Amino acid sequence: MTDPHQILLESKTIAVVGASPNPARPSHWISKYLMSEGYTVIPVNPGHVELFGLKCYPDVESIDLEIDIVNIFRRSDQVIPIVESSLKKSALKLVWMQDNVYNEDAAKLVSDAGIPVVMNDCIYRVHRQIK
């Protein structure tokens, strides 16, 4: 199996599902951190047109760029439609579910597509440990 940590280090583009304009929300400051580390962050939130000065998309499949990683900041019971949308992206290398986001059915969909999946872990914390 491909090492998700290596994929994180080698990737360039991360779609952040559940990105928030609220600086107190982890999805906000982690997006800003990823941007400061050189990643292209694509915010995904149907409630916004723009976040972080960037175009914000309503869902993953409407993103018109190649995505390496989908980073999910949504409740566990909301993950399956996000994963289904994400799997329509051909260049997808990794699906990452943040702390307290855990959905075995969604993970199986991702794994069955041959894509590594991380659940219940923080991309910020892991990136800081491995960079």
* pLDDT confidence of residue 68: 96
Eight-class DSSP state of 61: G
Residue 2 predicted with pLDDT over 80 = no
Rg (CA), the chain: 13
| Mean pLDDT within 24-48 | 97
pLDDT band for position 109 (50/70/90)?
Answer: very high
Q: Are 41 and 27 in contact (CB under 8 A)?
A: no
Q: What pLDDT score does 114 carry?
A: 94
**Quick one: pLDDT band at residue 44, thresholds 50, 70, 90?**
very high
* pLDDT on residue 100: 96
Report which of 4, 127, 18, 26 is spatially closest to residue 79, judged by C-alpha positions: 18
Confidence bin at 51 (pLDDT 50/70/90): very high
Residue 1: pLDDT over 60: no
Q: What is the pLDDT of residues 52-72, one digit of tens each?
A: 999 999 999 999 999 999 999
pLDDT tens by residue, 75-104: 999 999 999 999 998 889 999 999 999 999
Domains along the sequence of the chain with CATH = 4-130 (3.40.50.720)
Q: Which of 73, 76, 69 is nearest to 51 (CA)?
A: 73
> What is the model's pLDDT at position 91?
85
25 conformational bin, left if phi > 0, alpha if psi -120 to 50, beta if neither: beta
- Angle at which helices 26-36 and 123-130 pack, to 10 degrees? 30
